[in-house]
Amino acid sequence: MKETYDVCVVGGGAAGMAAAIAAAEGGKSVCIVEKNKKLGKKLYATGNGRCNVANSDMTAIHYHSADPDVSSFLHTCLGTEPNRELFAFLHSIGIYERCLDGYYYPRSMQASSVVWAFSDRIRALSIVTYCSEYVTDIRRRSDGYHIICGTELVADQVILSCGGLSYPSLGGCDGGIKLAEKLGMKCIPQRPALCAVITEEDTEVIKGVRVACSAQIVHGTVTDQQTGELQITEYGLSGIMIFNLSSEIGRRLEQGKSVTINIDFLQEIQEKDFLQRNESIQRNIYGYLNSYLPEKLAKYILDACELSPKQMLAELSDARMQEIYHRCKKFPFHVRGVKDYEHAQVTAGGISLQEINPETMECQAYPGLYVTGEMLDIDGDCGGYNLTFAILTGLRAGRACYDKN
């Protein structure tokens, strides 16, 4: 038997649940179709289970896209005060925030609190959920959109909130982008983002090192820089600063370009201070460099400089010391690749922004069809940016469904 609704939301993550709630609060009959056994499965893992929902710095520089006009798109779809709108919605479903160093979390510091609040509101609004249902096609007919899945569904309006390919073990897949491609939407090639990178250099001997530093992507001219804690692994480089560079790194690699990350291990140390060594102290270069850097890293850098750790300071010329200093200030790692989707927090690429009206999230070519969140060619830095984008674009689409009539 055919089930008919005003609005069908495909995907039960943060964007989909927000969209469904917004549409139902406008008086629409709403259903959610979710491939997982329950709603919000990925949301449980957000922010290492603490659910970083927002950030105090919501400038567009923290978002990335192949579209050069992404800032204008964001200004329209997120508005001038995105956090005010986000928190007003969260408060309405019973979630209140706390701020730690500019990062906003639920007061409980548990992602499960956010999922339960969404779920409770969905039940209160009598939104019908179809879990463990996989949508394979969406067809526009005279009586509305037909959603092809295990249940025969028809809706006047459809909101695509299928997410991306990250964390396939939690349900990440390419189902949403395949639906978009079947509908003829232009899609930017997808790739993992907010992930670690794999380097050409052998980093096995320095795995486990954590150090405060800055990193720059180099390709002709410096295009991006991050500062923070670098985590060195057996395969390469990790940490939030590397995650925030990974979208641009992946894009360049996809274009066939080489990528070098230059690390400044002495970001607060001036050259004159480094060279003012006390030669009267019987000390070798390894011990001296170890006063600035972790011992394994100091040895690694000296090996790169082809210097014996036993070389005494008094035996090194100023020119040789300058060479060591500049190597520490600009230590190159050549990128071979980024980690796969199972180790990526988000998906970069997706449906081109040119396909979407940023005021409503409606597809330009399909009236009544909306796209939200990670399905779009926008990915944010670490720090709540992606979850904010998901929820607010979901609200835009859901509200557009009842504003239209």
Domain that holds residue 325: 196-339
Note the pLDDT of residue 11. 97
Closest CA to 108 of 119, 97, 99: 97
- Give residues with Cβ within 8 angstroms of 249, minimum separation 6: 197, 217, 259, 261, 335, 338
390 pLDDT above the threshold of 70: yes
Note the pLDDT of residue 218. 77
- SS3 at position 244: helix
The total number of structural domains that make up the chain: 2
Q: How far is CA 164 from CA 76, 95, 96, 336, in A?
A: 23, 25, 27, 23
Predicted TM-score of the model (pTM) = 0.94
* 8 Å CB contact between 261 and 332: yes
Note the pLDDT of residue 47. 80
Start-end of H helices in 26-96:
70-78, 82-92
For residues 2 and 97, the model is more confident at: 97
Query: Is residue 183 domain-shared with residue 321, that is, in the same domain?
Result: no
Note the pLDDT of residue 283. 87
Q: Tens digits of per-residue pLDDT, 15-41?
A: 999 999 999 999 999 999 999 999 999
Q: Tens digits of per-residue pLDDT, 308-334?
A: 999 998 888 889 999 999 999 999 999
Query: Is residue 231 domain-shared with residue 315, that is, in the same domain?
Result: yes
Q: Tens digits of per-residue pLDDT, 186-237?
A: 999 999 999 999 999 999 999 999 999 999 997 766 678 999 999 999 999 9
In a domain, 31, yes or no: yes
Q: Tens digits of per-residue pLDDT, 286-312?
A: 999 999 999 999 999 999 999 999 999
Say what percent of the chain tops pLDDT 90: 90
Confidence class of residue 280 from pLDDT cuts 50, 70 and 90? low
Query: Is residue 49 domain-shared with residue 177, that is, in the same domain?
Result: yes
Note the pLDDT of residue 222. 64
In a domain, 43, yes or no: yes
CATH number at residue 20: 3.50.50.60
Query: Is residue 124 domain-shared with residue 230, that is, in the same domain?
Result: no
Query: Is residue 359 domain-shared with residue 270, that is, in the same domain?
Result: no
Query: Is residue 18 domain-shared with residue 147, that is, in the same domain?
Result: yes
- How many other CB atoms sit within 10 Å of the CB of residue 138? 22
Note the pLDDT of residue 152. 87
Q: Tens digits of per-residue pLDDT, 107-122?
A: 999 999 999 999 999 9
Q: Tens digits of per-residue pLDDT, 144-190?
A: 999 999 888 999 999 999 999 999 999 999 999 999 999 999 999 99
Query: Is residue 136 domain-shared with residue 153, that is, in the same domain?
Result: yes
Confidence class of residue 278 from pLDDT cuts 50, 70 and 90? low
**How far apart (Å, rounded) are the C-alpha atoms in residues 99 and 89?**
17
Note the pLDDT of residue 314. 84
CATH number at residue 320: 1.10.8.50
In a domain, 26, yes or no: yes
Note the pLDDT of residue 404. 65
Average pLDDT for residues 120-131, to the nearest whole number?
A: 98
405 pLDDT above the threshold of 70: no
Q: How far is CA 39 from CA 118, 119, 176, 333, 397, in A?
A: 9, 8, 16, 41, 19
279 pLDDT above the threshold of 70: no
Query: Is residue 252 domain-shared with residue 391, that is, in the same domain?
Result: no
Query: Is residue 34 domain-shared with residue 149, that is, in the same domain?
Result: yes
Residue matched to tokens 């809706």: 155
Query: Is residue 23 domain-shared with residue 88, that is, in the same domain?
Result: yes
Note the pLDDT of residue 276. 82
